[in-house]
Amino acid sequence: MHSSAPSSETVRLSTPRALLRLMPYVRPVSGRLALGALSALVGAIISLLIPIALEWVVAGPIAQRETWPIVLGAGLVLLLGLGEAAMVWLRRWFVLNPSMTVEYGMRTDFYAKLQRLPVAFHDRWQSGQLLSRMMQDIGLIRRWLAFGLILLLVNILTIIIGTGLLFRWHWLLGVIFLVTSLPLWVQGYLFDQKYGILSRLSQDQAGDLATSVEESVHGIRVLKAFGRGKFALSKFTRQAETLRETEIKKARADGSIWFWLVLMPAIAFGLCLLAGIWLASQGQMSVAELFAFFAMATVLRWPIESIGFLFSFLLDARTATDRVFEVFDEIDTITDAPDAVAMPTSRGRLAFRGAHFRYQDAGAHEADLLNGIDLELEPGETMALVGLTGSGKTTLTTLPTRLYDVTGGAVTLDGVDVREMRLTDLRRHIAMAFEDATLFSASVRTNVLLGRPELDPHGPEGERVLREALQIAQAGFVDDLPEGTETVIGEEGMSLSGGQRQRLALARAVAAAPSVLVLDDPLSALDVDTEALVEAALREVLANTTALIVAHRPSTVALADRVALLEAGRVTAVGTHSDLLATSEHYRYVISSLENEARDKQEAEAGR
Ligand SMILES: Nc1ncnc2c1ncn2[C@@H]1O[C@H](COP(=O)(O)OP(=O)(O)OP(=O)(O)O)[C@@H](O)[C@H]1O
Ligand SMILES: [Mg+2]
């Protein structure tokens, strides 16, 4: 179901414009970031003053062999050094907090966005891609804001001012210094082209790798049971190898720019030394000036060398920003309409009116999976939905709560199109339980009361709702758990059996006290006796709750007032169980196959 991450086909923005998209997050902390940049700049200016101070010491006090001024001069240089160090400390202190704030804000928004995006989005995107964007890419943006951005700006300024000052001592030396740096600019441009692509590739591949890890950790039992650990490992190794190759290419690109970054200043140094000595011997330049020139060239060395690293950092940050904003740019298709109707209460009249649905990845020539569903549930009615496997029953149950939107026709609650209702209201009125019961890493109590955020879970009302729901779902087993209803279950806690999880998921749906209950085969993992108990209890609740139940067993069908038969994308028959048995050939066929399945299961249980 997962293809690789959809790549954006949008126009490629220039790097500065791509990074400007971070502005909304940066603006609130821009004051402190600016102070950080200012500290860095002051530090840089101080470092540029050192050669000038040295020139003064060499030309004046040292040449005249006066002791006190020499000590004073040395003290001044030392003081400048201290000042520079203090500025480095200040810069770090200023930027730490704002960068963390940006990271926190982006992560929270990213999470909220993932929650808002429709199920169809999650069908298309690999979980590992989302995970790596949320953790790795946003973390990289934080580090870049804290160090990369400021250092890049300040170092470029330092280089410009410093090179200007070089001309102060002698124009020829300045020109030599400048000309030898030209190849760096050319290399830097080429590097930008190559590295940007590699950076994107490596970050995408890291996301694929995260998906693999997640999938194999989730599926560890299957892999072990089928002895396919090696298979998973070889797939993982292949992906890791691809990532390694990309990283090596990246490092090569990095290495080639470093080659120039180290080589060119060295050449510049050598040439300047030759020219400088010649100029000094010609009397065109004093020794103090020559000395100061080299001191300045030394000061400029680190900013120049760091440019390569800061440049690749910039491109990595740009890629990370692109990857994060690809998710932010996804349009929430399932949202409140601007004029959404508030619906504080509901009577629970659910209807499908000529509802069509097809999955996005369905072939163009295929007929719609749901091809004009007409079905009406009276308030309080229990309707069973039956159909062959793959006929679209689960798909149909996702439409009332708008996990997916219909692609034609409508679903209505109390006569109002569900798309015109406020989502919060809609989802409070309709509760669901799925065959595949998902529980969260939290206590039993929190899991069951998930749909009742307004209740104090430990208050008397919370306790009453919890108890009632557990009773209906026959989930008394929770009292035998080590800490009763406070036991933490799910990924971080106690592992429960399939039937136990299903009963808790059912309790969760019941506790939501909805006016419509949509159950997708919620009892499949229960043994026949427990199922009968749950059904008896459900019948009580269902008396005043509208229910749509996908049934895979004849006994579940018996619970229903009426049965709807799904066939070839349409509801072809609606009626009581005995009516349909009498009138519909396809219904008899479906029921007999359900009976066979149920019998097989019962025999398997008996034989256990
Ligand atoms: N997220 C999805 N994206 C694309 N196609 C899907 C998706 N989920 C289901 N399908 C396809 O839709 C069809 C109907 O699936 P659905 O799960 O609704 O059937 P079902 O009637 O519930 O079957 P079962 O009785 O086995 O539970 C299947 O052909 C399936 O491959
Ligand atoms: Mg199904």
Do residue 258 and residue 359 come from a single domain?
no
CA of 387 to the centre of ligand 2 (A): 10
Residues with CB under 5 A from ligand 2 (ion): 394
Q: What is the DSSP string of 527-576?
A: -HHHHHHHHHHHHHHHTTSEEEEE-SSHHHHTT-SEEEEEETTEEEEEE-
Are 145 and 292 within one domain?
yes
Question: Does residue 268 sit in the same domain as residue 321?
Answer: yes
Sign of CA dihedral 458, 463, 466, 471: positive
Rounded distance, CA 608 to CA 606, Å?
Answer: 5
Residue 102: inside a domain, yes or no? yes
Ligand 2 geometric centre to CA of 520 (Å): 7
Of 393, 519, 556, best ligand 1 pocket probe by most atoms within 8 Å of the beta carbon: 393
Cα 117 from Cα 115, distance rounded (Å): 6
pLDDT band for 1, please (50, 70, 90 cuts): very low
213 and 284 part of one domain: yes
**Per-residue confidence at 63, pLDDT binned at 50, 70, 90?**
low
Report the separation in Å between the CA atom of 389 and the middle of ligand 2, taken as the mean of its atom positions.
Answer: 7
Residues 258-283: pLDDT tens digits? 888 788 888 888 888 888 889 888 98
Regarding whether 369 and 265 lie in a shared domain, the answer is no
Tokens found for residue 176: 């030599």
Q: What is the pLDDT of residues 211-262, one digit of tens each?
A: 888 888 888 888 888 888 888 888 899 999 999 999 999 898 888 888 887 8
Ligand 1 atom having least distance to the Cα of 391: 21
Predicted confidence at residue 168, as pLDDT, reads 81
202-231 as b/e, with b when 16 or more CB fall inside 10 Å? bbbbbbbbbbbbebbeeeeeebeeeeeeee
* 536-568: pLDDT as tens digits: 888 877 788 999 999 888 878 887 899 999 999
Q: Residue 360 maps to which CATH number? A: 3.40.50.300
Q: Which ligand is nearest to the CA of 359?
A: 1
Strand partners, 548: 383, 518
Q: Does one domain contain both 312 and 455?
A: no
* pLDDT(401) > 90: yes
User: Nearest residue CA, atom 14 of ligand 1?
Assistant: 392
Q: Looking at residues 287-315, what average pLDDT do you find?
A: 85
Distance 393 CA to ligand 2 centre (A): 6
Whole-angstrom Cα distance, residue 259 to residue 265?
11
Residues 145 and 256 occupy one common structural domain = yes
For 140-159, give one letter per residue: b (16+ CB within 10 A) or e: bbbbbbbbbbbbbebbebbb
Model-wide pTM > 0.85: no
**Amino acid at site 192:** D
Q: Please, what is the average pLDDT of the chain?
A: 88
Is 414 a member of any domain? no
CA-nearest residue, atom 16 of ligand 1: 392
Q: Please state, in angstroms and as integers, the Cα–Cα distance from residue 49 to each residue in 13, 36, 43, 59, 83, following that order.
A: 39, 20, 10, 15, 11
Q: Are strands 488-489 and 442-443 parallel, antiparallel or unpaired?
A: antiparallel
Q: Which one-letter DSSP state was computed for residue 488?
A: E
Domain identity same for 104 and 161: yes
377 phi/psi in degrees, rounded to 5: -110, 125
Q: Has residue 7 been placed in a domain?
A: no
> Does residue 341 sit within a domain?
no
- Range(s) of the domain holding residue 384: 350-389+437-607
Alpha carbons 284 and 280: distance in angstroms, whole number: 6
> DSSP class of residue 147?
I
Would you say residue 403 lies in a domain? Answer: no
Query: Do residues 587 and 566 lie in contact, with contact meaning Cβ atoms separated by under 8 Å?
Result: no
The residue among 385, 417, 395 whose CA lies nearest residue 572 is 385
CA distance 386 to 593: 11
Residue whose CB lies within 8 A of the most ligand 1 atoms, among 360, 391, 434, for a mutation test: 391
Residue 445 lies in a domain: yes
- pLDDT of 443 over the 50 cut: yes
State which amino acid sits at residue 280.
A
Report the run of H or E that residue 445 belongs to, with start and end. Answer: helix 444-448
In a domain, 338, yes or no: no
Find the residues whose C-beta lies inside 6 A of ligand 1: 123, 359, 361, 369, 387, 389-395
Containing 13, the helix (H) or strand (E) segment is: none
* Residues 111-167: tens digit of each pLDDT: 999 999 999 999 999 989 999 999 999 999 999 998 899 999 999 999 889 888 888
Burial class (CB in 10 A: 0-12, 13-18, 19+), 372: middle
